[in-house]
Amino acid sequence: MERQKTISRRQALAAGTAGILGATLPIAGQSADQAARPRVPADPTKVQGPLSTDVGGRSPFEKPKRVSFSDRRTSSLTPLQDLDGIITPSDLHFERHHGGVPAIDPAQYSLLIHGMVDRPLVFTLADLRRFPGRSVIRMMECSGNGGRAYRREGNQTDVTPQQVDGLTSTSEWTGVPLATLLREAGASPKARWILAEGMDAAVMTRSIPIEKAYDDALIAYGQNGEPLRPEQGYPARLFLPGVEGNASIKWLRRLELSDQPFMTREETSKYTDPLPDGTARIFSLDMDAKSLITEPAFPDKLTGPGWWEVRGIAWSGRGKIARVDISVDGGKTWQPAKLDDPVLPKCHTRFRFPFEWKGGETTIVSRATDETGYTQPTLDVLMAARGPATAYHFNHIRGWKVLADGAVKFAGGL
Amino acid sequence: MKTTFGLRLGAWGLNSGLRLGAWGLGLFAAIFLLTISVASGQTKSGPAQASSPRSQAPLGIGRAATPDEIKKLDIDVMPDGRGLPAGRGTVAEGAAIYAAKCRSCHGAEGVGGTFDRLVGRESGPNFNFAMDPKLVKTVGNYWPYATTLYDYTFRAMPFMQPGSLTPDETYALVAYILALNKIVPENAVMDQASLPKVKMPARDRFVVDNRKGGKVVK
């Protein structure tokens, strides 16, 4: 797909200063844009290239980056529009932290498990790695992801998929099942909840239902084939597939089993969902099915009528994606998208749909259905269930408007 | 566990035979599945089979935790008061500590700061937080448990000196913030016994998550 991207142009400008490739002389009369691009040989078959390196880097032509909502960077968003497939490069995985990113020496690291167990134990990182391990490819989404698509007033049109929904990422996570540690410590059959506690400045805590711990919770030390990145919980974190990201406590230092939830600040005053009937949902952990189109999207511009591929990702915290439907007429008619292999439970799933743009204005929309039969709702349906002032779990359908000149703008929630 | 939960949380909170029965089934299923998955993994591992976990027997990895190291890390406080340390604090003591350590972020009397607003009882006609974007969640109108205020303040505040408060200072700050919210009187003293007895205005508003997938959007 030929794309005109303002971001790419800026990225190329930044890359030009790197100058790490073989140089050619600037050509008189070339535009500033051309002059700013990384310098490469006119014919790479006529010159030997650089030799191997200890650690690779991206092509200087590619500068994907995380962005934040504000200067006070307590979170950052994944550049979804710059990614193919389903794996998020580890250095582009979204971030959210409540006390900054702690620096932890893995040699000093330990994890305590205690409370309603027969044998309170301490594990070093080497201990965790010695247990029978498991690798799974799973997504993680922040419960606040997509709030920008929920507001009816002040909906911005010039925002990228990253700026709207970039608090979701997929990695291959490697670790030891939490169930294995519970067995090692001799968990009491009367234990119902587990407090997970981080060693960041927030000493972040969440209570985890014991059923989740025995189901598919992981104490992860690996991400995409390497140790966790510091901002993802190095050297070890809790990872709860399909669950709102904040519950997957990073920099994990302690697990305490109890008969009751601990009612921490995050799970009571923050990550709860007030409802229109005057109640508030607590421990609303699972992420409902959702999809979004990553191409074409702002700031793309279709250069002319003809065939384009609509691309995006879909996922559900409750299992596999069963289907994704696409509408290229603003939701009037729907057709199934093709799902790329692999289609994994609780994981980003890549979808594709051939779109013949005939010119003229239209809106393209995606709609996911998961294996439980749940279909991504419209904005009206979700707002009726949750109210306009709700703060989390914005999984309604959203769209992109293609203008007559080919420019693509965010159409908001639909 | 008795009734420290609101009734709406009965599905988890009440110590019913039904709940334990369901848990027993869940545990059985979990162990069964674990056994299956481990066993199937072992078919490829051959000789390692004997030392791999097939049963409840521990693998002997890790070391025993000492009571001292548990005590050092075990700082959490539960709604029924478990975990609260010895100590006490008054509203007046809390006001002085607040002015010195909290006011710069949370504003005079818990309102008007650059960070979270702590004080306010307004919650609309029927706990209107889902419907009214202008409502601000505070300790007074939204937090269901007073013990959470102790736990969080002790573990993570003040923001630039996290974990630096003593239990007495924390009890005093909790007393002050609860008094500003008109939840406890000006002469209140917070300690191990009194804090868990404080009933927060929003206590009975919280309900179990009823979303289960399927066709209905909740």
Taking CB atoms and an 8 Å limit, are A260 and B1 in contact across chains?
A: yes
| Angstroms from B187 CA to nearest CA on chain A | 26
Give dist(CA A388, CA B124) in Å, integer. 15
> Model confidence over B94-132: pLDDT tens digits?
999 999 999 999 999 999 999 999 999 999 999 999 999
Give dist(CA B212, CA A78) in Å, integer. 28
> Model confidence over A194-245: pLDDT tens digits?
999 999 999 999 999 999 999 999 999 999 999 999 999 999 999 999 999 9
Give dist(CA A236, CA A59) in Å, integer. 30
pLDDT of residue B57: 87
pLDDT of residue A29: 64
Give dist(CA B11, CA A283) in Å, integer. 13
User: Would you list the domain boundaries of chain B?
Assistant: 7-58, 88-204
A296 vs B30, higher pLDDT: A296
Tell me the two tokens of residue A323.
Answer: 């289907």
B12 touches chain A (CB under 8 A): yes
DSSP E strand stretches across A132-198? 134-141, 168-177, 193-198
Which of B73, B148, B152 is closest, CB to CB, to A112? B73
Report whether pLDDT(A152) > 90. no
Tell me the two tokens of residue A187.
Answer: 């968990």
B22 vs A80, higher pLDDT: A80
Report whether pLDDT(B153) > 50. yes
Mean pLDDT of the region B51-80: 87
Report whether pLDDT(A17) > 70. no
Report whether pLDDT(B7) > 80. no
C-alpha separations of B49 from A132, A174, B57, B125 in Å: 12, 21, 14, 64
From chain B, the residues in CB contact with A197 under 8 A are: 73, 76
From chain B, the residues in CB contact with A284 under 8 A are: 209, 211
pLDDT of residue A13: 39
Which of B26, B56, B129 is closest, CB to CB, to A280? B129
> Model confidence over B163-208: pLDDT tens digits?
999 999 999 999 999 999 999 999 999 999 999 999 999 999 999 9
Mean pLDDT of the region A378-383: 97
Query: DSSP code of A126?
Result: H
- With residues binned 3-state (H G I as helix, E B as strand, rest as coil), the percentages for chain A, rounded to 5, are 20, 30, 50
B150 touches chain A (CB under 8 A): no
The answer to whether A114 touches A85, Cβ cutoff 8 Å, is: no
Least confidently predicted of A63-72, A300-309, A372-381, B58-67: A63-72
Burial group, residue B74, by CB count within 10 angstroms (0-12, 13-18, 19+) = middle
Report whether pLDDT(B23) > 80. no
Task: Give the fold, CATH level 3, of B88-204.
Answer: Cytochrome Bc1 Complex; Chain D, domain 2 (1.10.760)
> Model confidence over B47-62: pLDDT tens digits?
333 343 434 689 999 9
| Mean pLDDT taken over chain B | 83
A4 vs A239, higher pLDDT: A239
What ipTM does the predicted assembly reach? Answer: 0.90
From chain B, the residues in CB contact with A112 under 8 A are: 65, 69-70, 73
pTM: 0.87
Q: All domains of chain A, ordered by start, with CATH?
A: 1-39 (no CATH), 95-156+171-271 (3.90.420.10), 290-413 (2.60.40.650)
For A391, the closest chain B residue by CA position comes to B130
Give dist(CA B44, CA A355) in Å, integer. 46
| Angstroms from B61 CA to nearest CA on chain A | 6
Give dist(CA A289, CA A372) in Å, integer. 10
